[in-house]
Structure 1
Amino acid sequence: MTLEARDAEIILHGARLVDPAGGDPAGDAVAIAGGRILGVGPHEQLKGLATPATVSLCCDGLSLMPGMIDGHAHLDREGLKSVLPSISGARSIAEIQAVLRDVAARTPPGRWIVLSPLGTPPLFLDGWSGLADGRCPDRHDLDAAAPDHPVWIRPAWGYWSNKADLVCVANTAALALAGVGRDTPSPHPLVEIHRAADGVPDGRFREATRISIVETTLMSAAPGFDVATRTDALARSMDTYARFGTTGVYEGHGVAREVIAAYGALRGRCKPGMRATLVVSPSWSNVDAAADMAALIADWTRWAKRDLDDDDRLRIEGIYAEIDETGEGLVRARGGCCTGWAGFHLDSGAPRAMVRELLLEAARQRLRVSTIFDDVMGLMEEVNRSQPLAGLNWVRGHVATLDDRALGAIQDMGLMLVTHTNRHIAKGGSAHLARLGPDRRDEIVPMRKILDRGIPVALGSDNLPPSLLHPVADLELRRDHGTGEHIAPEQALTRREALALATAGGANLLLRGNELGRLQPGYLADIVGFPGDILTMEAGELRHLEARLALVGGRVVLRQN
């Protein structure tokens, strides 16, 4: 089957063709021209589209399928993990000191040294508890290794471990530059400044939260991730996600201005190897309760986009909504525009009344809204009574538990859903089951019910880890990794159904289902190739599977032997 009579620029051949959202095409080859799929079918047939200039790529042993689209990616965060000097291999304070001495020898005296978090990546579950010393290092330990430098061991991102228990450590010089001393108060009840018997801080901070408050308050003097660093990291992130078969992302948690600037800088440098749709992360600091919401939305959007125009690879649309009655986000945002690991504005939450006005105005303007919280979805239901939301394609991410009433409301509002199975099945499925009880188990990530109701849904990795094949396996196996317990197995999906959500489901989330997510003529040539038969291999194998080939718009962005 071909689109039109024209010459092929690339022909991929010898593959198993997989189109999860439809019937798998007959044949073994895909012809590409002008960034789109020109034809699919037997190689012998498509050879007629070739010229001497046509690139022919043998894909023997690969399953070729549409590139996957991550509906909650936090793409920018992945590349940042390799920016800082790593102490992840250290199993004692002495080994941390050895790494620090080596870094200090290569760093001019007086310049900051910021080290990666304590613990073992990618989840950093052990923190300092994995050290043979049985204690966390303090400022004196760091002073001994780098007396001529301010040193800070940065806190982890708490959602990697899903624990509200963060630790970071500063040496004496770092504390002095940060202005942290005997009389420094904690910036928030969730933050503990460890002190020696004489009241002087010993350099250790502990936080009962998943998003650090210390790094943007007490330790805001330490260098953060600037735009140049984020730009380089973003390029690495795209390479990593492509390695796992992802060719597009939707950033439903919202993206801060500094991250959007990194996208713009990367686009100025090269054509990005990933399609990205970015939701604007608002910043509520200094916003008066009586503010004109229409003007505020326009200002946020203008502020986010600046001179960036939407194109085929980068689109900026909609706004993120979150309720924060505690003011905790405002405390985090005191450090200015640097958002750390988050990548979204730390003050993106606002009091309920202000979020309600935001939703009302967004509905009036027919502006898309994304959230990850049940309480905001409740507000959406209120707004829907006066400003019908059907047709606006608002998004509810991080789907955890939904009862029949909630599913009905989602249908009525025309919401699109994004799952987070890495957390709500693989890590926390048993906790949900214990809380709800066996009679309500089918409310836990109820995928079968969602599909039966025809509710549009896509998959999200949340960068935990970055491979969308983990959620694909989760939806098939429905098993908590920690306990081994099966979680509402009657809500399981088939492999094909799950892959369809990772491809065509993601395309629908981007509102591009007519040109992405299928292996058909006329669709954009975002294609990935995995070794083996992706439809029949054991589900457990998916978690370790890497793509050997990835194309975005007909351009090869990954090719591994």
Structure 2
Amino acid sequence: MVDLVFFNGRVLTMDSAAPRAEAVAVHQGRIFAIGGNDELDSLRRSATRAIDLDGATLMPGFIDAHTHFVSGGMSLANVNLAGVNTMAEMQRRVADKVEMTRDGDWITGRGWDHTKRTDEVAWPTRAELDVVAPEHPVYLGRVDGHVGWANSRALAMAGIARDSADPYGGQIMRDENGEPTGILLETAKNLVQNIVPEPDLAARERGLQLALDEAARFGVTSIHDNAPAEDLVLFQDFRRRGDLTVRVNGLVRGWEVDQPFLEPMIAIGAQTGFGDDWIKLGALKLSLDGTLGSRTAAMLEPYSDDPGNTGVFRITQEELDPIVERAHKHHIQIALHAIGDAACKMALDSIERATKVHHWPDHRHRIEHEQVITEADMRRFPELGIIASLQPCHAVTDLVWIESRVGPERVKRAYAWRSFVDIGTRICLGTDWPVETLDPRVGIYESVTRQGLDGNPPGGRWLEESLTIDEALCGYTIDAAWAEFAEDRKGTLAPGKFADFVVLADDPTAIDPSKLLTMEILATIVEGRTVFSADGRFAPS
């Protein structure tokens, strides 16, 4: 007798050898059998529970290959400026938080994006925060997490003034009189961030629960998470009490923290994969540059709309190389944030040097984002066995302004997903939540259409760089599993693999791409247990 049988459905296995089925049997959290309705009929009749899919689509649960999970959950409880496109609305949201906050206490949040403003495309200023929060220190992170916006009170508490020097890898933005405007680029934001009181345990637990709820309603069953040490502790606490409903592959900090993970991992003999199938150490994560939206991504040539500016490096080649080599030597996967073409070259150079010194052919090192890259460096990905970790949801709005930022020649190699795939690069897909929504449907839609959420422009932008629907689905399932050395346990549906599923009202491979955004998620199942149900059919019995 098995625990559960799903039948009468459209089952997408993501396994090219047997891509379709109608029924799946589950026992003790694993797939017991998969096949046609007739083949599993005897198991269905004897199962503890049988669920009629009634034509719905069941497929492997989505694996988000790039998140900031607890931070994302906490952003839902703080001042949330995601999607806000006017200064008046930003100020209103801050003012609302002021009303419920004691004088002198910090107000924090994130999500603003000055490139999406409809009133005026301009950086915000401290004065615009001072108007609504004169008695509170305020710090609000940009949507990309690489820029901060602070009011005068917060700047004063951090000791940031006219004569303050820019830190390495960062910049204090100043007005024409040399006064700080309140915008802090890259490492400069740490000057304020480091004095913001740490959230207490109750707030962080509330944030993680909000994040888990968000993942469940979007069909996300595993994450590759940019996890600081305190988040790994929190994941373990939730797991001990049975409340963890996503599997966590940690992209742990290797730079810009008091205690980087590399040496402690080496000291205890922990290689990539150390842990179990719920929480494990994945890659050592380092950020090499900033972002295109804030013009801090490191570029080989100046920005087309900001001559003289080539962005910001957050680490030097001389600092990076020994870290990458030592990690590679000890079989610790590397994940390098590199958005600009100069940062991509730095990342590739460092990994190539390490591979020439120490033999580890199946390293699966990865570079995160690679939004602008030279053709020559792109070809180095498959040559070196490097994964391109892509976030198509960034392109929803970035493609609107990217040509003005990098010019007509470099734009041909921007968000070049098809070019990566065509030369044999392994990819994985993620959202970068809370930089973008955790909803994988947005990334799948953008991968295929390269259009805005409103369907414009007709035909998409640089559609020649789009992915097929099958490639996009693989990016969120089997390819993401491969990127964390877990392809034998999840990412496809086969006997013995985890019973981690998402149930969709429609077959994403059969509907018009414009419908992908609104494709209903009916249920999310993790290890055979329903963690989200849109209707009573899938609710826990």
**Does TM, normalized by the shorter one, top 0.5?**
yes
> Which residue of 219, 233, 241 corresponds with 1:269?
241
Which is greater in Rg? 1
Distance (whole Å) between structure 2 residues aligned to residue 437 and residue 169 of structure 1: 37
In structure 2, runs of 5+ residues without a counterpart are 291-312, 339-343, 536-541
Deviations 1:521-555 (A, max 9, x none): 22211110111222122223222434211111212
Question: SS in structure 1 opposite 2:521?
Answer: coil
Quote the residue 1:338 is aligned against. Answer: none
Supply the distance in 1 between the matched residues of 2:510 and 2:195 (Cα, whole angstroms). 53
Q: Once superposed, what is the RMSD of the aligned Cα atoms? A: 4.2
How many equivalent residue pairs?
Answer: 495
Equivalence for 1:335 = none
Counterpart for residue 107 of structure 2: 114
Q: 2:319 aligns with which of 319, 332, 354?
A: 354
Residue matched to 2:211: 237
The question of whether the paired residues in 1 share the 8 Å contact of 2:254 and 2:284 is answered with yes
Counterpart-to-counterpart distance in 2, 1:542 and 1:304: 44
* Displacement after TM superposition at 1:511 (Å): 1.0
Of the candidates 357, 367, 378, which is equivalent to residue 386 of structure 1?
A: 357
The structure-2 alpha-carbon separation of the partners of 1:318 and 1:490, relative to structure 1 and needing over 3 Å to count, comes to: closer
Shift of the 372–94 alpha-carbon distance from structure 1 to 2, 3 Å rule, reads closer
Post-superposition Cα deviations, 1:384-407, rounded to whole Å, max 9, x if no partner, equal 333355321111221324555334
Tell me, in whole angstroms, the C-alpha distance in 2 between the residues paired with 1:494 and 1:351. 37
> Are 1:79 and 2:76 matched, yes or no?
no
Q: Deviations over 1:82-105 (max 9, x none)?
A: 22266889947995686256414x
Aligned residues of 1:480 and 1:487 also touching (Cα < 8 A): no
Distance 2:90 2:314 in 1: 38
The alignment-based identity, stated in percent, is 17
Deviations 1:132-164, CA, capped at 9 Å, x for gaps: xx9954546435xxxxxx62333123417xxx8
Structure 2: how far apart are the matches of 1:165 and 1:26?
A: 45
1:245: how far off? 2.0
**Pairing 1:7-406 to 2, within 5 Å after superposition:** 7-22=1-16, 27-50=21-44, 54-84=48-78, 91=88, 95=92, 99-100=96-97, 102-104=99-101, 112-116=105-109, 125-126=116-117, 136-139=127-130, 141-143=132-134, 151-159=136-144, 166-169=148-151, 178=157, 185=164, 190-191=171-172, 206-209=182-185, 211=186, 213-214=188-189, 216-218=190-192, 220-251=194-225, 254-283=226-255, 297-299=262-264, 310-323=275-288, 350-373=315-338, 374=344, 375-388=346-359, 390-406=361-377
Does the Cα contact within 8 Å between 2:126 and 2:182 map onto a contact in 1?
A: no
- 1:227 touches 1:259 (CA, 8 Å); kept in 2? no
Q: Hey, what's the Cα distance between the residues in 2 that align with 1:414 and 1:141?
A: 51
Structure 2 counterpart of 1:549: 523
Counterpart position of 2:393: 422
Contact 2:152 2:182 in 1 (8 A): no
* SS of 1:511 mapped into structure 2: coil
Q: 1:455 aligns with which of 425, 437, 440?
A: 425
Query: Does the 8 A contact of 2:34 with 2:495 survive in 1?
Result: yes
Q: Distance in 1 between matches of 2:469 and 2:158?
A: 55
For residues 491-531 of structure 1, give each alpha carbon's deviation from its aligned partner in whole angstroms, at most 9, with x where no partner exists: 33321222122211111112111221112222211110111
Cα deviation for residue 449 of structure 1 reads 4.0
Partner residue, 2:538: none
What residue is the counterpart of 2:495 in the other structure?
521
Residues 256 and 304 in structure 1, CA contact (< 8 A), matched pair in contact too: no
Once the 2 structures are TM-superposed, how far is the Cα of residue 256 of structure 1 from its aligned partner? 1.8
Q: 1:343 aligns to what?
A: none
CA distance in 2, matches of 1:118, 1:268: 32
Decide whether the 8 Å contact of 1:70 with 1:249 is kept in 2: yes
So what's the TM-score if we normalise by structure 1? 0.75
Whichever residue aligns with residue 206 of structure 2, its letter is D
1:168 is aligned with what amino acid? A
Instruction: Say if 1:221 and 1:128 are closer, same or farther in 2 by CA, change over 3 A.
Output: farther
**TM (normalized to structure 2)?**
0.77
Q: Which residue type is aligned with residue 206 of structure 1?
A: G
Q: Tell me the SS of whatever aligns to 1:371.
A: strand
Equivalent residue, structure 1, for 2:539: none
d(CA) in 2 for partners of 1:179, 1:514: 49
State the AA in 1 paired with 2:34: V
Cα deviation, residue 229, structure 1: 2.6
Match of 2:503, SS state, is strand
Residues 95 and 75 (structure 1 numbering): CA distance in 2 closer, same or farther, change over 3 Å? Answer: closer
Q: Distance in 1 between matches of 2:371 and 2:254?
A: 24
CA shift in 2, pair 1:224/1:170, >3 Å: farther
Distance 1:93 1:523, change over 3 A: closer
Deviates more, 1:382-391 or 1:236-245: 382-391
